Structure 1
Amino acid sequence: MSDTSLTIDNILLPELTLCKVSASSKKRVLEFIADQIHQHDSTLNESQIFNNLVARERLGSTGIGQGIAIPHCRLEGLDRVIGVLVTLEEGIEFDAIDNQPVDLIFALIVPKEATSEHLELLSQLAEKFNERIFCDRLRQCDAPGTLYQQMTATNS
């Protein structure tokens, strides 16, 4: 992947943008994300994605505060970056930095080799999620299409 100008709108697909998902725990939501990615691309191993996400969480929670988490991991054999955006019906315990429950999740699955793209995307996400008004708009969406549009709109 030579394109270093990866942006959120070219890694997030409408079919991997999900609204008001019901999840009882961090583990369940990571399972759900792995399952969604596998359904989208059956060549990708669901349990490998899940295990990699869990392994990354063990290093330290990806809950960045204000009800937001950005779980991410690398995946062997992946040739592109995959983003999954999920809003939850109710916040869940995520061991977040501020101990607040999480209800807004953007998962990032990157090729094993991608380092600079990975960090660049994480910083783009952190920047977007730093805007409370933007996050409130995402939380108010009740249709995946609307959520996708809000997330990928350049005028945030």
Structure 2
Amino acid sequence: MLPPSLITEPRIRCRVEVTSKKRLLESLAELLATAGPDCSPAAVFDLLNERERLGSTGLGEGIALPHARIEGIDQAVGAFVQLSQGVSFDAPDDRPVDLAFGLLVPQEATDAHLSLLAGLAERFSHPPLRAALRAADNASTLLKLLQSPS
């Protein structure tokens, strides 16, 4: 189960139409920029993109977990985007990504960051959850699915 404060309905988008990995990261950056007063969509995008240059955060099975550490926030913040069509994301299985959970954590939160990433990766490894996330048609349903116990 995700920490309740990690993701809220305003940071969830359903049936988003983007045409590239860059546009997907921009969509997540806009949602994640609400994390703190000093966060801007451009700054968050740069951090997510910088992390992607180190290696794709695509997990396979159509899932991506773009993430970054950032100054100026005191707790982790998540955002979720369900795409209407998948985009190429350099995932290990070469499948297009259509579900993306973006994560920002405080700069110093290394252990918490890794623990959250591991928990998210484990959650998204369940085919029934992935299918339900793909079938959802509104942000409220997506939030309930994301916050439900595994």
TM range (shorter): over 0.9
Question: 1:58 maps to which residue?
Answer: 53
What are the ranges of 5 or more consecutive residues in structure 1 without an aligned counterpart? Answer: 1-5
Deviates more, 1:84-93 or 1:73-82: 73-82
The residue identity in structure 1 corresponding to 2:68 is: C
Cα RMSD, aligned residues only = 1.5
Question: 1:109 maps to which residue?
Answer: 104
Q: Distance between the aligned counterparts of 1:146 and 1:83, measured in 2?
A: 16
Query: 1:37: Cα distance to partner?
Result: 2.5
Write the deviation string for residues 43-74 of structure 1: whole angstroms up to 9, x where unpaired. 41221110000000000000000000000001
Deviates more, 1:64-73 or 1:32-41: 32-41
- Structure 1 stretches (4+) deviating beyond 4 angstroms? 39-42
3-state SS in 2 of match to 1:113: coil
What are the ranges of 5 or more consecutive residues in structure 2 without an aligned counterpart? Answer: none
2:118 maps to 1:148: no
Question: 1:3 maps to which residue?
Answer: none
Relative to the length of structure 2, the TM-score reads 0.94
Match of 1:97 among 82, 92, 96: 92
After superposition, residues 14-25 of structure 1 pair within 5 angstroms as 14-25=9-20
Q: Distance between the aligned counterparts of 1:39 and 1:118, measured in 2?
A: 18
Match of 1:79 among 74, 80, 83: 74
Alignment length, in residue pairs? 150
Query: 1:97: Cα distance to partner?
Result: 0.9
Identical counterparts, % of pairs: 41
After superposition, residues 32-71 of structure 1 pair within 5 angstroms as 32-38=27-33, 41-71=36-66
Distance 1:83 1:39, change over 3 A: closer
